[in-house]
Structure 1
């Protein structure tokens, strides 16, 4: 079984490396609010990369003083700075940019709030680092921005993806798998909406730790599975998926609350973000199922070796998922 231990250790190292690198994909956030005519409160949040702020800097239009703010200060998860800028003749029709974004893999979400207009939400990427500030934004533009944000958030959320991956491995019936994923979707949609609208408020760190524990639970279920006897999580997986989906929804809401919702188009932004999350989740499940089908077909010609590999696949996956999730639990509890 030395080969099995080797695969397990190698996969654990890869997953932990992805976990550590995930912060490099966290989006930046820029909030500009007009507090008096031509006077703006600026909030700038940069992702943390290995204990240091990501090397990106916002540059306001040339008619603003100052164009950039003070040095960022860490809040434990990201780097923030606040300042007040005076922008003669306002911001509409002006250009702002994020220096250094072209060399990063992340995005920056920008929210602009004028005194006499609806909020405008825009997104800058490594291929588009400059924004022409518009006077107003259409409902469809708001929807598209938040849908893309939701899609990217789920694909960067390794704990959420690992939970879904464990569901795929655990549930052998396609009908039960569809029911479980549907229940997971319904549950996290409920808590996402409640938390994002301010009706439910739970501190983020405990929620993140419990989300990691939910992945540990599924890993244990995978390891204890027996061919002749279905466990509760296999007989009624929708119950488990719904219960833990409520917690995962709070995790999604935490990311959405950091970004903020447009005051006028809250319903559209919330719906679009949730649809983006679901699209990302379904895309991930599709890739996993396709990869499993290809792998199983590719091993079929190896006869006895393929039987041995496939019989140990769930064992390897269970220990891998459990090890990575336990690491997350310890890391997040330590972060309290």
Structure 2
């Protein structure tokens, strides 16, 4: 049993860096900014897949005429921009993302019926098109940005790995509760500050520090409890809060890439943050449920706890160290 688990951990550790990145797929982004009654400036951002644009295409209402230029790679995604002429406007027209049903990502569509009045709609593999409404809806903004928040955290493997390491490191439930609460509060603070422009840091160093925070937790996991950092042992919420500030900057970077509706920035920011928290709580709940189920089905696994902890710490640390090197190399 012990050898099998360790073998599986080694396979996962060596294969994950080549199969996934820390953020599996960024969402697509379609923005239609009104220039006048029948012209819209279109920005189309497509996720990168193995050095090429994801095979999806934005289709505007039938009354629109446009010629999209070839996309340009900006270091993270493929972007193109053009002007579309829509003789009957956008209201009542159909916007579709062709090919989205064959992907695992989603696309946020932001559009203006008139200058300055932004509306949003989130498209997924299950819903690849929608009819443009003439009225902006609060519920639509909430559902779109909550969904984006949940998607971002659940596809952000580095953020989930940090939470997983936190669960392994803190065995006391009361301390775990306060540590997770501190992590949530911290990344909410920097998410708001960075998104609103009060705090600005370049993305590559932030992403490297996020990976380095996971390395720190993984290193602590390799040590016996009496040899671990006293601060992390006695006050884990302080460590979680400090690293949460860094992770919040990563969330803010993703939100800046997606964009916020100009007339409803506080609402969209609130909804995105709620989505991140819901996704985080869902992940923690699933992990705790799996832990309880495994202990009940295989009581003997408690005797392998030390080996499992060490194997998990090396697997987590190896993957995080790979990300640190990869992200520093991209500076």
Q: Give TM-score, length-normalised by structure 1.
A: 0.93
CA distance in 2, matches of 1:228, 1:128: 52
Q: Is the 8 A contact 2:211 2:321 kept in 1?
A: yes
- Indicate the residue corresponding to 1:331 in structure 2: 326
CA distance in 2, matches of 1:235, 1:266: 39
- Indicate the residue corresponding to 2:231 in structure 1: 232
Map 1:270-289 onto structure 2 (within 5 A). Answer: 270-289=269-288
Q: Does 1:317 align with 2:312?
A: yes
- Indicate the residue corresponding to 1:52 in structure 2: 52
* 1:213–1:335 Cα change, 3 Å: same
CA distance in 1, matches of 2:235, 2:250: 24
TM superposition shift of 1:87? 1.1
- Indicate the residue corresponding to 1:149 in structure 2: 148
Q: Is the 8 A contact 1:46 1:79 kept in 2?
A: yes
- Indicate the residue corresponding to 2:65 in structure 1: 65
Map 1:98-109 onto structure 2 (within 5 A). Answer: 98-109=97-108
Map 1:78-157 onto structure 2 (within 5 A). Answer: 78-116=77-115, 118-157=117-156
Q: Does 1:31 align with 2:31?
A: yes
Give 3-state SS (helix, strand or coil) of 2:125's partner: coil
Give 3-state SS (helix, strand or coil) of 1:265's partner: helix
Per mean C-alpha deviation after superposition, the further-off stretch among 12-21 and 147-156 is: 12-21
- Indicate the residue corresponding to 1:167 in structure 2: 166
Per mean C-alpha deviation after superposition, the further-off stretch among 144-153 and 1-10 is: 1-10
Q: Give TM-score, length-normalised by structure 2.
A: 0.94
Once superposed, what is the RMSD of the aligned Cα atoms?
1.9
Give 3-state SS (helix, strand or coil) of 1:198's partner: coil
- Offset from partner CA, 1:217-236 (integer Å, 9 cap, x none): 10011112325877321210
- Offset from partner CA, 1:166-191 (integer Å, 9 cap, x none): 10000011010000000000000000
* 1:230–1:195 Cα change, 3 Å: closer
| Consecutive unaligned residues in structure 1, runs of 5 or more | none
| Consecutive unaligned residues in structure 2, runs of 5 or more | none
Give 3-state SS (helix, strand or coil) of 2:291's partner: helix
Give 3-state SS (helix, strand or coil) of 2:130's partner: strand
CA distance in 1, matches of 2:22, 2:328: 19
TM superposition shift of 1:26? 2.3
Q: Is the 8 A contact 1:188 1:245 kept in 2?
A: yes
- Indicate the residue corresponding to 1:219 in structure 2: 218
Q: Is the 8 A contact 1:117 1:136 kept in 2?
A: no
- Indicate the residue corresponding to 2:252 in structure 1: 253
Q: Is the 8 A contact 1:58 1:97 kept in 2?
A: yes
Q: Is the 8 A contact 1:225 1:231 kept in 2?
A: no
